[in-house]
Amino acid sequence: MAKISNFSDIEKVRLEKIEALRGRGINPFPAKAQRTHTSAEALAAFEAQESKGDKAKAVVATLVGRLRSMRVMGKIIFAHIEDGWGSIQLFLRADDVGQVQLELFRDYYDLGDFVQATGEMFRTRTGEPSLKVADFTMLAKAVTPLPAAKDEEVEGEIVRHAALTDPETRYRQRYADLAVNPEVREVFRIRAAINRALRSFLDNQGFLEVETPVLHQIYGGAAARPFITHHNQLKQDLFLRISFELYLKRLLVGNLERVYEIGRDFRNEGVDRTHNPEFTMLEFYMAYANYEQVMQLTEEMLAFTAKEVLGGTKFTYQRNEIELGVSWPRIELKDGVAEFADINLDDHPDAASLAKAMRAKGLDVNPTASRGKLIDDLLGALVEPRFIQPTFIYNYPREISPLAKSLPHDPVIVERFEGHIAGMEICNAFSELNDPLDQEARFQELGRGSASDDENAHPMDEDYLRAMRYGMPPNGGFGMGIDRLTMLFTDRATIREVILFPHLRQRED
RNA sequence: GGGCGCGUAGCUCAAUGGUAGAGCAGUGGCCUUUUAAGCCAUUGGUUGAGGGUUCGACUCCCCCCGCGCUCACCA
């Protein structure tokens, strides 16, 4: 990539045009624009006028937008401009704007420029509603050409020619990607709609949206390594949060019965198709609910969200038809393992025995993993990928769920479920542990850890225990990755497609 | 971190050891109802970086960088 001072030949030509415009007393970057109609409004107004048959009252409009195509035919020019609501054709004729202005447009306006045009709406000979331009002006000149994308309509199908497709360029220069690929803009409209729908659903259920710290002195609430940062004046290392859980549950102690937060989590882990170092989570906590009620609420919330965002509860993800509108199958973890991994967990009460059984299935087994971790690995390898339709897996090992409440009749199993769709973990929830003494013991259990390295041992959050000692109502908690939900609703195969500026390796250019 | 693949003009892609090309975009010209407008002409390249083999390298080898897929890692 050239340095910013090294311009391509095309850019040099454009810079010359900028100077030429200035030489004619035209500011290529004026401060003010005007518009009377968006493209969509102009088209609607024109069709309304046509249907009334009122030829006398022409629709006069001033439109703004970005030049996306230009066809110069001697004394007339056809061009399309695109704004935030669509695109519309401009028709410039020497008879209307004058020869000098026509040549100005032809010689100094380029694809990618932002322009303003005023005129009357009319229909061209081929029937396309267009603006018969009487006057136009430059709003912002583009120096670098957009990665050209041309569309052709063939029998109603849009065929794109030479669209920007290189994933690296698309992610590193998302602005260019968005500018030329409308379907990318649509992904992020859907993402916003998902957030809106989730907020609407939770607000209607009496939840309070809150904001808790991103900078943590003690990280916790999830199984992940943190990013570390530093406060200069306080001379103190801080962690970017890996979850909101411990702060949100403190709020239940404060008599806020139902709280949620939508925000960013940061996990210092590998990057792949479903993991970005920073990602967006929804967590909610609901006093007096247990995990069964949260399961119910999850079904309702996602069905509601799908209806709001997609207009229905069915959608296609990577060629699979997904149905969110029915109650999800609920499979107890040990039954799922028995069915899909053909391992009876009751026959393997310790890590060594389970590891042996897993090796017999041809799985790579981490020799230092605890039994709980092995079960988690087993789920990931053989069980979870089987659930294409929304499915709850419930009742997890206590060892890997230090914040969840045990089953009344079985202390080593906790009231926890995960929701899986299309083989992806979408959400994770449990009946929250609210016994401060039990919680302290669980923290200490973790501190001992499975391996010798301290890296896996989480620090004890004393203040969280103090809060719990004041009394925490029984409650159900829930966490869901917004990015993955957006992948599902937009049928994108990788998380990078649903994050505007996904993390990429640093590159010198 | 391992394996496999990719990196050529602004964009999308050709060229498999023998003069780096096409379409679009750009530039010059013709054209008053086009829509991937058309027609004529034309500019544009350190083939990701570096090294090696060879008379000759986009092509083969080594190393580095980046991206993709995948496996591993990830209380």
What's the confidence (pLDDT) of residue A414?
A: 95
In this structure, the answer to whether residues A138 and A245 fall within a common structural domain is no
> In the prediction, which pLDDT does A457 show?
57
Mean pLDDT of A433-446: 90
Nucleotide nearest to A273 (CA to C1'): B69
Spanning CA of A342 to C1' of B57, the rounded length in angstroms is 56
Question: How much is the pLDDT for A455?
Answer: 46
Q: Which of A145, A174, A192 corresponds to the end of one domain?
A: A145
∠ Cα A47 A49 A53 (to 5°)? 110
**Residue A356 within a domain:** no
Give the pLDDT band (50/70/90) at residue A271: confident
Q: In terms of Cα–Cα distance, which of A151, A167, A259 is closest to A212? A: A259
> How many angstroms separate the CA of A168 from the C1' of B64?
19
Determine contact, residues A227/A262, Cβ cutoff 8 Å. Answer: no
Average pLDDT over residues A247-251: 97
Element (H, E) at A299: helix A291-310
Query: Is A373 a member of any domain?
Result: no
Q: SS3 for A162?
A: coil
Task: Provide the number of structural domains found in chain A.
Answer: 2
Residue A484 has pLDDT above 70, yes or no: yes
- For residue range A98-147, list pLDDT tens digits in order: 999 999 999 999 999 999 999 999 999 999 999 999 999 999 999 999 98
**CATH number for position A135:** 2.40.50.140
Measured in angstroms, what separates residue A204's CA from nucleotide B55's C1'?
Answer: 80
Q: What is the mean pLDDT of residues A40-67?
A: 91
What is the distance in angstroms measured between the alpha-carbon CA of A333 and the sugar C1' of B75? 19
A359 pLDDT above the threshold of 80: yes
Whether residues A129 and A190 share a domain: the answer is: no
- Percent of chain A residues topping a pLDDT of 70: 94
* Domain C-terminal end among A145, A173, A207: A145
- For residues A134 and A208, state if they share a domain: no
> What is the average pLDDT across A405-427?
94
Nucleotide showing the shortest C1' distance to residue A368 CA: B75
- Does pLDDT of A256 surpass 90? yes
pLDDT for A454: 44
**Can you list the pairs that A425-428 forms with residues at least 24 positions away whose Cβ atoms lie under 8 Å?**
A425/A384, A425/A481, A425/A484, A426/A390, A426/A480, A426/A481, A426/A484, A426/A485, A426/A488, A427/A298, A427/A478, A427/A479, A427/A480, A427/A481, A428/A478, A428/A479, A428/A480
Residue A348 covered by a domain: no
- Rounded CA-CA distance A434/A273 in Å is 35
pLDDT, one tens digit per residue, over A1-33 is: 333 457 888 999 999 999 999 999 999 999 999
**Distance, angstroms, CA A130 to C1' B32?**
16
Q: Which nucleotide is closest to A166, CA to C1'?
A: B67
pLDDT at A481 (0 to 100): 95
What CATH number is given to the structural domain containing A199? 3.30.930.10
Pair A130, A201 in one domain: no
Question: Is A322 within the bounds of a domain?
Answer: yes
Q: Give helix A351-360 / helix A371-378 axis angle, nearest 10°.
A: 30
Residues of A117-126 as b/e, b for ≥16 C-beta within 10 angstroms? bbbbbeeeee
Cα(A393)–Cα(A403) distance, rounded to whole angstroms?
18
Q: What is the pLDDT of residue A21?
A: 95
Give the pLDDT of residue A509.
52
CA of A164 to C1' of B54 (A): 38
A237's tokens:
């290392």
Q: Of A135, A67, A61, nearest to A100 (Cα)?
A: A135
Given this model, what pLDDT does residue A3 score? Answer: 38
For the segment A217-245, the average pLDDT, to the nearest whole number, is 91
Is residue A154, in this structure, part of any structural domain at all? Answer: no
Do A132 and A229 sit in the same domain of this protein? no
Confidence of residue A458 (pLDDT cuts 50, 70, 90): low
A489 pLDDT tier (thresholds 50, 70, 90):
very high
| Residue A36 domain boundaries | 9-145
Is A165 part of any domain?
A: no
For the cut 80, the answer to whether the pLDDT of residue A246 exceeds it is yes
**pLDDT at A447 (0 to 100):** 67
pLDDT at residue A453, rounded to an integer: 42
Strand B bases, protein C-beta under 7 A: 1, 9-13, 23-28, 30-38, 43-44, 65-75
Does one domain contain both A116 and A197?
A: no
- State residue A63's pLDDT score: 97
Average pLDDT over residues A162-183: 90
Residues A235 and A127 in one domain: no
Residues A275 and A394 in one domain: yes
With respect to residue A289, please indicate whether it lies within any of the assigned structural domains: yes
Residue A435: CA count within 13 A, CB half-sphere: 9
Domain check: are A270 and A396 in the same one?
Answer: yes
Query: Which tops the pLDDT comparison, A447 or A412?
Result: A412
Average model confidence (pLDDT) across chain A = 91
Q: What percent of chain A lies above the pLDDT cut of 90?
A: 74
Is the confidence at residue A352, as pLDDT, over 60? yes
Instruction: Read off the pLDDT of residues A377-414 as tens digits, 9 standing for 90 and up.
Output: 899 888 998 899 999 999 999 988 999 999 999 999 99
Residues 6+ apart with CB under 8 A from A227: A239, A240, A266, A268, A277
Q: Is 90 exceeded by the pLDDT of residue A82?
A: yes
Q: Residue A451's pLDDT band (boundaries 50, 70, 90)?
A: very low
User: Average of pLDDT values for A492-501?
Assistant: 94
Q: Are residues A398 and A268 in the same domain?
A: yes
Q: How confident is the model at residue A449 (pLDDT cuts 50, 70, 90)?
A: very low
* Top-confidence residue, A154 or A149: A149
- The mean per-residue pLDDT over the stretch A481-498 comes to 95
What's residue A154's pLDDT? 66
Residues A87, A205 within the same domain = no
Residues A126 and A228 in one domain: no
Alpha carbon distance A391, A152 (integer Å) = 42
A151 within a domain of the structure (yes/no): no
Contact A21, A142 (CB under 8 A): no
- Give A157's pLDDT tier (boundaries 50, 70, 90): low
